[in-house]
Amino acid sequence: MNKRVRQEVREHMRTNSAAQRCRYPWSLRLLKSFFADRSFLQFVAIYIGIAAIVALLEIVIPRYVPELLPQWTRSGPPGADIKVLLTNVASYLITAQVGVLGVIAIAIGLVTLIAQREDAGTDVKVYYHESFAVEVVASSLALLFVLIAQLLWPLQFLLHRFGEGTELQIFKLFLTAVHMGWLLVNLSGLAHFITTTFRFVQKSAREQLRERYTANVVQPVEMTRQLRLKLYEMAGSDLIETDATGGRGTRQDDLVVTFGFDWGKPDDVELEKSFVRPAVVHDVRVRWVRWVATRWWRRCLANPSGGRNSRVGGLAADKPLLVFTPQLDEPLRGKVAWCWRRGGVPLTRFERWVVEWSFRFRKASDEA
């Protein structure tokens, strides 16, 4: 379901002239894909993964394919100056990164002062998003943390301590190149941050920032929310099944399947779950749920004496009813009978497994 929603929103944004007019340039989209709302810990974790892979290669390559290693990167003569160069480069990078953080702190303080004087709380939210302020700070702090830790090259030290690795500096050179590339991206983020800051302090430019934020963030988020709710609620009425003779394309009024509605106390519980922590339905593989409903409805037709339900609301008493009670993104707590039926025949064990696999639960957010 979420995949279909993303496709629909993406197609709308591609064909909407107003959205296209406010679309981010490709350079900004590329920069945003690097930061991608990542936190300090996420940046550090990504780097640790890269460093671990490099350490693994330092074990494997010298042992199995040593011919791949360039001898000019030897730590001793004639490449003794490489180790000194790596130390000096690290100190330069640390100095540059500290300078980046200083500039960001001054700019954020200036913007906060302007916001307090003009009561522009909403505009500050737009500013933080459009300038990548939080992301640039997180990335810069993470790089500074990494650079200080790598002054001692802890993973390489452990490798050499246990008799692994090599005296060649190619792996440290590679990680240093990663540091330099990371710093260049941070500097690009800083350039965008400063540009956005200078625009923000001008009242005429804030409207443009607000319009771009609305077109690229607010509108897609709202469209996604509305489409998800609509598709989920309409999933039951969209069941197009075979008729009694096996023909395709006939809508059966005898089949009633609902999503997100609770018709009261269940007669026959098919699936229930105990939620120790609040959880929500985040996604549904609707196609597979429809497939289960089709199988169940055919067996109900083949066995009309399988059961009768009592009258519920405006439903006829002889219509089998299959209910999926969870509402989309609404917290579920405790023991919940989230799939039940009135009338008809029971679901098979395999059908219950498919339904349980099709509903994707995840931990509820703190705001839920």
Q: Where are the alpha helices (DSSP H) in 235-359?
A: 286-302, 349-358
- Whose tokens are 């709710």? That residue is 229
Rounded CA separation 145/1 (Å): 40
pLDDT above 60 (res 41)? yes
Q: Is residue 80 pLDDT above 80, yes or no?
A: no
CA pair distance 240, 290, nearest whole angstrom: 9
pLDDT tens for each residue of 115-136: 555 555 677 778 788 888 888 8
210 and 218 in contact (C-beta within 8 Å)? no
- Residue-wise pLDDT for 262-294, tens only, equals 767 767 889 888 888 889 988 898 888 888 888
Write the CB contacts of 278 (distance below 8 Å, at least 6 apart in sequence). Answer: 331, 332, 333, 363, 364, 368
Residues with Cβ within 8 Å of residue 336, at least 6 apart in sequence: 272, 273, 274, 275, 325, 326
Alpha helices by DSSP H, the chain = 2-15, 17-21, 26-35, 40-64, 81-118, 121-131, 133-149, 154-161, 170-200, 203-213, 219-234, 286-302, 349-358
Q: Quick one: pLDDT at residue 16?
A: 80
The string of pLDDT tens digits covering residues 324-361 is: 888 888 888 888 888 888 888 899 999 999 999 999 99
pLDDT surpassing 70 at residue 317:
no
- Tell me the per-residue pLDDT of 216-246, one tens digit each, with 9 for 90 and over: 888 888 888 888 888 887 776 655 443 333 4
Q: What angle do CA 228, 35, 202 make, to 5 degrees?
A: 90
Of 192-201, 222-231, 313-322, the one with minimum mean pLDDT is 313-322
Give the model's pLDDT for residue 112.
Answer: 63
Average pLDDT over residues 18-25: 80
Distance, in Å, from the CA atom of 176 to the CA atom of 85, rounded to the nearest integer, reads: 10
Say how far apart CA 204 and CA 186 lie, in whole Å: 28
CA distance 161 to 339: 58
- The residue that leads in pLDDT, 139 or 78, is 139
CA distances from 319 to 119, 187, 253, 260, 307 (A): 59, 65, 9, 19, 10
User: Higher pLDDT residue, 249 or 310?
Assistant: 310
305, pLDDT greater than 60? yes
Helices 121-131 and 133-149 meet at what angle, rounded to 10? 50
Please name the residue that has the structure tokens 């490449």.
79
pLDDT, residue 311, reads 44
DSSP 8-state symbol, 218:
I
Q: Which residues, in sequence order, are CB contacts of 154 under 8 Å at separation 6+?
A: none
When the pLDDT of each residue in the chain is averaged and rounded to a whole number, the result is: 78
Does residue 331 have a cis peptide bond before it, meaning omega lies within 30 degrees of 0?
no
Higher pLDDT, residue 307 or 212: 212
pLDDT of residue 242: 38
> Count of alpha carbons within 13 Å of 343, Cβ hemisphere only?
22
- Burial track 53-67 (b if 16+ CB lie within 10 A, e otherwise): ebbeebeebbeeeee
pLDDT for position 318: 58
- pTM score: 0.70
**Can you list the alpha helix ranges (DSSP code H) found in 119-169?**
121-131, 133-149, 154-161
Strand 321-324, strand 256-259: pairing = parallel
Band of pLDDT at residue 255, cut at 50, 70 and 90 = low
